[in-house]
């Protein structure tokens, strides 16, 4: 499962989606994780809530760069940004306070090892990385 983490320093989950200068992208399995890439952005939100010009879209490039990720961890994400992320089949997860990237990855692994919550099972099924449920219908 591919996971993106909003970060300013590549050590901690410590950024809002719009103001994140980097996203650490990991492949996470039940037993291990691997850093796939670090995606960097220079043009980020100042978190003022004010829009610049009509054609100034700083969100679309981030969503495009994160395509292929299944989960996105961040401190906050605005409604329009969340809608764009969800439409790209990425499940955003807001975390209430900063924490280390390692803590995020360990918690994600724990969810994969134990009984994943329904929302995660749905994400995994849509991504094609979950075990298929057995069909009890007879085939002709």
Question: Residue 50's pLDDT band (boundaries 50, 70, 90)?
Answer: low
Q: How far apart are CA 74 and CA 60, in angstroms?
A: 17
pLDDT at 85 over 60: yes
Return the SS3 of 75.
Answer: coil
User: Cα torsion at 113, 118, 124, 126 (round to 10°)?
Assistant: 170
Token output for 80: 């329009």
pLDDT band at 13 (very low <50, low <70, confident <90, very high): very high
Average the pLDDT over each of 16-25, 42-51, 93-102, 124-133 and give the range with the smallest value. 42-51
Question: Alpha-carbon distance 130 to 124, whole Å?
Answer: 5
108 pLDDT more than 90: yes
What SS3 state is found at 39? Answer: strand
**What number of other Cβ atoms are within 10 A of residue 78's Cβ?**
15
Residues in the chain: 140
Confidence (pLDDT) at 42: 82
Fold held by 2-45+59-127 = Nucleotidyltransferase; domain 5 (3.30.420)
Give φ, ψ of 14 to 5 degrees: -150, 30
């Amino acid at each position: 499962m591919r996971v993106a983490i909003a970060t300013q320093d590549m050590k901690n989950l410590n950024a809002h989606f719009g103001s994140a200068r980097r996203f650490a992208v990991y492949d996470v399995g039940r037993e291990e994780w691997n850093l796939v890439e670090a995606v960097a952005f220079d043009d980020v939100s100042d978190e003022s809530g004010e829009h610049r010009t009509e054609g100034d879209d700083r969100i679309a490039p981030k969503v495009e760069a994160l395509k292929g990720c299944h989960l996105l961890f961040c401190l906050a994400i605005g409604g329009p940004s969340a809608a764009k992320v969800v439409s790209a089949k990425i499940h955003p997860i807001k975390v209430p306070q900063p924490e280390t990237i390692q803590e995020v990855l360990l918690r994600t692994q724990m969810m994969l090892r134990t009984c994943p919550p329904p929302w995660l099972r749905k994400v995994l099924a849509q991504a094609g990385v979950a075990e298929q449920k057995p069909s009890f219908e007879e085939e002709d």
